[in-house]
Amino acid sequence: MTSVRRTEVYRELEDRLRARRGELRQAIQSGLQAMGEERLARDIGDVGDDGLASWIQDLQEVDLQRDTEELRDIEQALERIHAGTYGYCVDCGDEVAVARLRAYPTAKRCLECQELHERRGGARA
């Protein structure tokens, strides 16, 4: 695969990352809003079943945390695209396979380094 082809792929991935970033920002915003409203409702004493309410809130917090982490990964990937370091493994410096980038546009490592990283107990992606 030539470098010209990679540039085209990166442009396509950048579009996907930007679209996903927009979705996540919206999801996080409405998630925060919903949590705020729920807290307010509970403060007022509107929520009858405290157990259920806190369970729902826990779920929302898990969602929010996951969305926030994904958003952070996307921001970092977009920064790497602009810095020209996108598509290179942060560990070994080799090019990350295009198929891997298409599957995980936020991938920081090549497959070999990622597997090594996970075996050492590191996080995914």
Please give the span between the terminal C-alpha atoms of the chain, in angstroms, as a whole number: 23
Nearer to Zn ion, 20 or 100 (CB): 100
Angle in degrees, CA 123, 24, 30, rounded to 5? 125
The pair of structure tokens assigned to 46 is 């509107």
Nearer to Zn ion, 17 or 96 (CB): 96
Pick one of 91, 97, 100, 125: the residue that binds Zn ion (CB under 5 A): 91
Binding window for Zn ion (CB under 5 A); candidates: 23-31, 42-50, 64-72, 104-112: 104-112
Q: Which stretch binds Zn ion (CB under 5 A): 4-12, 13-21, 67-75, 86-94?
A: 86-94
CA–CA separation, 20 and 91 (whole Å): 26
Scanning 6-14, 48-56, 84-92, 116-124 for contacts with Zn ion by CB under 5 A, the matching segment is 84-92
Neighbours of 28 (CB within 10 A): 17
**Which of 114, 101, 112 lies closest to 8 in space, CA to CA?**
101
CB of 116 to Zn ion, least distance (A): 8
Position 101 contacts Zn ion (CB under 5 A):
no
Q: Using the rule CB under 5 A, is 107 a contact of Zn ion?
A: no
Question: Is 17:74 a contact under the CB 8 Å cutoff?
Answer: yes
